[in-house]
Structure 1
């Protein structure tokens, strides 16, 4: 991996942790998610249009199978966004974010081992152990066994739920890109457009809440809608010049950024424990991806 590619991945990790920090500060629910998908559609629409100007066949010639995968991905992404925001409403950012990022690879690996018959190596077993240990530390360590706070329990619950969604959409999107040959930028944008369509009934049923959410958090919504896709594009660019097996674990350094952001910028407590827990999860993810 070249220095420039390394820098791209670190920058992507920083941006990813940063937009999640903004999402935590907004602490919005479903109306926040709805406004976000509409904002992405409007802001990134011209970019995708310019990109696809000389590639109209990539946009107009989707097969039924491709549309089914796009729709399924959109549904899972909605569940992911709602679970993530619920976690940020009820628990610490420095707990929810690392658990969400770490349990995705953990769940994917367990499914592969149990249902697909993949071999369990020493490195993968140690990786699973490290992730579980990291979750344990983030949840409060030994004290959680006796009297876990509702906030810590909520962080584990919603972080793990978000991680399960990450595992699901990663599998779906990976198949769509590799086997159905959908361009990544198109996959991301069309899925977002479908999310907007699927959530649009809320415009009629939650009109006042949506108006209030926009008035309260429009700055966060616009900023997140701009920088969130950039993080994704940077990772894709890095994967064009470096092995995925190198890029994927390196981007999980975002967990450490999240632990520091949570304490320094949100005044959350337990910096030492959160750094240890996040570091264990980073090590565990590396073990799973390099098994």
Structure 2
């Protein structure tokens, strides 16, 4: 039975698969803010009973819960704009893939993680694959900047989430209250955009919103547990192997062209991810 870091690695890989599908559904949705609102509401519905069961979180945990919700909301807002500006198969790797090295670095500084040098090398190979994808992709300067900013926000929320889930006596206590706090952010932005008429907007994207919301839970709940069990930089890097799946989905679901350079970049990401998984679990 898997325990400790090996279990964290397995959970990170589960998260990677579900992440790619959740992002693909977000890209497909015409009203992306409505899809994001659906994702938040489904998370809130799923975890509110558990949050009530646990009761009010301790004061020391509140800054991490609130901080996580705010950074996640900012990240989701940036992600929406990134997918409006660029192809999914370019914006997705850049948005998700600029984060691993920064997350690895801040994990060492803030969380006192101590990844093996082989893990650092694996993360570097993974990022090299992402640079291969982006360098030869068709993306505007504005699109690249927004996608890169989204990647930095990925680092920020990964560090905050990892700190919160490790500070909590029970991982589920932090997770439940995070989803409660996070559940109001995007619906509030949707209501502000539409002058308080949130229900008509939600009715435009029920099928895609529901699918994306369920996949988002399958994606992020395992990642939160993984942050508690393994170095945050390793977990973040393994989640980015979802780029390979994202490229396939970009061609199959969104009819975006896949060329040899993108395939080579994806294989580098996969190779780097394999190194990270092997040396973190050993």
Q: Same fold (TM over 0.5)?
A: yes
In the alignment, does 2:44 pair up with 1:41?
A: yes
Please report how far the alpha carbon of residue 222 of structure 1 lies from its aligned counterpart in structure 2 after TM superposition: 1.2
Q: Provide the aligned C-alpha RMSD in A.
A: 3.9
Q: What is the number of equivalent residue pairs in this alignment?
A: 272
Once the two structures are superposed, residues 28-53 of structure 1 have per-residue CA deviations (whole angstroms, 9 ceiling, x without a partner) of 344442343123323x14xx52x568
Query: Residue 27 of structure 1: CA displacement?
Result: 4.6
Q: For the pair shown, which has the larger CA radius of gyration, 1 or 2?
A: 1
Matched residue, 1:187? 174
1:65 is aligned to 2:60: yes
The counterpart of 1:107, out of the listed 91, 102, 105, is: 102
Q: CA deviation at 1:17?
A: 0.9
Structure 1's unaligned 5+ residue stretches are none
Runs of 5+ in structure 2 lacking a partner?
none
Q: Does 1:203 align with 2:191?
A: yes
Q: 1:69 to 1:258 in 2, by over 3 A?
A: same
Cα drift, residue 205 of structure 1: 5.1
State the TM-score, normalized to the length of structure 2.
Answer: 0.76
Task: Say if 2:17 and 2:242, in contact at 8 Å, map to a contact too.
Answer: yes
CA distance in 2, matches of 1:86, 1:126: 32
Q: Is the 8 A contact 1:32 1:213 kept in 2?
A: no
User: d(CA) in 1 for partners of 2:14 and 2:106?
Assistant: 31
The answer to whether the aligner puts 1:225 opposite 2:221 as a matched pair is no
Specify whether residues 283 and 135 from structure 1 end up closer, same or farther in structure 2 by C-alpha distance, changes over 3 A only: same
Among 74, 86, 93, the alignment partner of 1:79 is 74
* Residue 138 in structure 1 maps to residue 138 in structure 2: no
Instruction: Give the 3 Å change call, closer, same or farther, for CA 68–7 of structure 1 in structure 2.
Output: closer
Shift of 1:155: 4.7
Are 2:12 and 1:25 equivalent residues in the alignment? no
Deviations 1:113-133, CA, capped at 9 Å, x for gaps: 799999998757755653553
Shift of 1:288: 6.9
